[in-house]
Amino acid sequence: MTKPIRRVGVVGSGVMGSGIAAHMANAGLDVLLLDIVPRDLTEEQKTNKKARDRIAADNLAATKKARPALFFHPSHAGRVTVGNIDDDLAKLEGCDLVVEAIIENLKIKQAFFDKLDQVIDDDTIVASNTSGLRIVDMIEGRDERFRKNFLVMHFFNPVRYMKLLELVPGPETSDEVMARVAKLGRDMLGKGIVVGKDTPNFVGNRIGVHSMMTTIHQMVADGLTPEDVDAITGPPMGHPKSASFRTADLVGLDTFAHVAKNCYDALPDDEERDVFKVPSFVDGMVEKKLLGNKTRGGFYKKSKTGIETLDLATLEYRPKGGDEAIYKACKKIGKISDPAERLRKLVAADGKVGEFAWKVLSKSLAYAARRIGEITDDVDAVDDAMKWG
């Protein structure tokens, strides 16, 4: 019988860490949420435990106010105890699972695992929520006990609502550990499990970002606008109404650019490496903090007069527009109830609509097919990652 996971430690209380802690609490688990001690404390505050716990406490408070709500009920926040890494690391000893959600810096993660290794029980499972760092690098120098209990547990944001949970075992991760974490994810957290391999950005981000980058490059090549592309890649293509660029605004341009650059840097032998090269206008958007919803403006922005679209040449906003013929054609196709028939009509459409849709879909699907065996051995895993993530 698989030993249940009842007490969880989450280290790192940022957006992902707090979201993970909240959803663990939703499942009825006791959670210890830790973060660093603030660096700006006065001499008096340095001996005040409440002040030392401020980062985790403030982030938990923000999570309570999040919209859409991250807790099933406000009372569930009572299952989360906050603390700090310097004073409370030893409290992780009694945890069945510790989820690391700290900064995406290999040396910092390695240093943390060195400290963690000294306080946890022999059977404590350690999971990293990294979105791109390799397991073999993170556990370098760790003993056999630590390595067999280690895996990647990659959640997607917002944790409560995104169904995808990627589990990635290391070369020595035990089958029992994988079974326990999969049971937790599936039966208690309500997640769809995709098992990937220890490759850059795993399954969802590798395929998803390739598809998005293919879309961006094709948009530039065909002289289309974000509105034109979103009309094509939304419901007509079987995607949500957020389509490509509204989805990018939801995710955050900084996050998207980071994943793309990580793929480009970490995949020198990928036959489509150049697809991951971030266009200059995306770099410009990141530099100007046009990151999407988190900065109240990305590819789109709400203004007093309505929705505005970013002009990618000038990085200035203009009234939302787009090609009326593209919009009308896509609206008609989007009304077809059968997704397969809808897709057939889309790629067979005359002019820019069909040409763009076929170029993007054919390139993206062919790339995904070629990754089987590299990022996962399961064909369905790629479909599930795209569907759930």
Q: What's the pLDDT tens digit per position in 305-338?
A: 999 999 999 999 999 999 999 999 999 999 999 9
pLDDT value at position 1? 67
* CATH 3.40.50.720 placement within the chain: 7-195
pTM: 0.92
E-state strands within 239-330: 300-303, 306-311, 316-319
Return d(Cα 311, Cα 97) in angstroms, integer: 47
Do residues 224 and 330 make contact, with C-beta atoms less than 8 angstroms apart?
no
CATH architecture of 204-388: Orthogonal Bundle (1.10)
* CATH 1.10.1040.50 placement within the chain: 204-388
Q: What's the pLDDT tens digit per position in 136-155?
A: 999 999 999 999 999 999 99
**CB atoms inside a 10 Å sphere around CB 139:** 22
Nearest by Cα to 326 from 283, 369, 365, 355: 355
pLDDT value at position 147? 98
Nearest by Cα to 42 from 33, 52, 32: 52
- Mean pLDDT, contiguous 10-residue spans, the chain (389 residues): 91 97 99 98 97 99 96 98 99 98 96 98 98 94 98 96 98 98 98 98 97 98 98 96 95 93 96 98 98 94 94 96 96 96 97 98 98 97 95
Do residues 281 and 315 make contact, with C-beta atoms less than 8 angstroms apart?
yes
E-state strands within the chain: 7-11, 30-35, 80-84, 97-100, 125-128, 150-155, 164-169, 192-195, 300-303, 306-311, 316-319
At the top level of CATH, the class of 7-195 is alpha beta
H-helix or E-strand containing 222? helix 204-222
Return d(Cα 237, Cα 229) in angstroms, integer: 11
